[in-house]
Structure 1
């Protein structure tokens, strides 16, 4: 079974992080995720993520840290999810693929029904909240 390389962004803004709900057109409809997408051949993860966030949400981001990847085996595919912390630097948010978005505080993260591949990243984010979210407010 192929391993898909997928990037995702933990977008930080005003002490909260962005979560996006998958639409009915996507796999795992209704599940929440950190937005991002599949790497194209010969694309590096950072440029992939900048492109995907622009395409899906019309947002410009500044990436400031790469986090440990998480691997998850679904019944039909295995995903290696490569997370990056980023801040929102421009663009007016438009939902071009997702059902809805929410800006979440640390204590709200576990209230959503996350896609299984994103869950280890959610837990990592909760553990490192001060380092990743609080310290990024510039």
Structure 2
């Protein structure tokens, strides 16, 4: 049976409602693919706690975590990743990449211009669809 790794990702919005995208570095698995920052959920930890800890470690800033956006499992062949993504916003400091090759703030409508890690794609599609609904109903 394949190992399933539970991870949490933060869909961080700024005041302009742009989304923080993180480019995986050459030293990470899935190099040069974009993702929502976050990390592995430790034993006994809640996903929102994971995100606050991981964002502090990876980006050096504090976030407030909101609602669950997507709960996705993706089979990478050697391992299954269960990714839970949450809306979040920065409440202290500015994000600086400690592990990622780059950070980029993008409008929701431009997210599809990046090449995303497969497990992140359902969350990208979800927030793009939600943004379209908001635009249409406005």
Same fold (TM over 0.5): yes
1:42-121 aligned at under 5 Å gives the runs 42-121=44-123
SS at structure 2 position matched to 1:48: helix
- The alpha carbon displacement at 1:131 in A equals 8.1
Aligned residues between the structures: 132
SS at structure 2 position matched to 1:128: helix
1:28/1:103 Cα in 2 relative to 1: closer, same or farther (>3 Å)? Answer: same
Q: Could you say what the CA RMSD is over the residues aligned between the two structures, in angstroms?
A: 1.4
For each residue in 1:102-130, what CA deviation from the matched residue of structure 2 results, as whole angstroms up to 9, or x when unmatched?
Answer: 10112210000100110011000101127
Structure 1 CA distance, aligned partners of 2:100 and 2:33?
10
1:92/1:106 Cα in 2 relative to 1: closer, same or farther (>3 Å)? Answer: closer
TM-score by length of 2: 0.91
Unaligned runs of 5+ in 2: none
Q: Hey, what does 2:4 align to over in structure 1?
A: 3
Structure 2 CA distance, aligned partners of 1:68 and 1:100?
24
TM-score by length of 1: 0.91
Dislocated runs of 4+, deviation >2 Å: 129-132
SS at structure 1 position matched to 2:52: helix
SS at structure 1 position matched to 2:95: coil
When structure 1 is superposed on structure 2, of 48-57 and 91-100 the one drifting more is: 91-100
1:8/1:28 Cα in 2 relative to 1: closer, same or farther (>3 Å)? Answer: same
- The alpha carbon displacement at 1:64 in A equals 1.6
Structure 1 CA distance, aligned partners of 2:11 and 2:131?
11
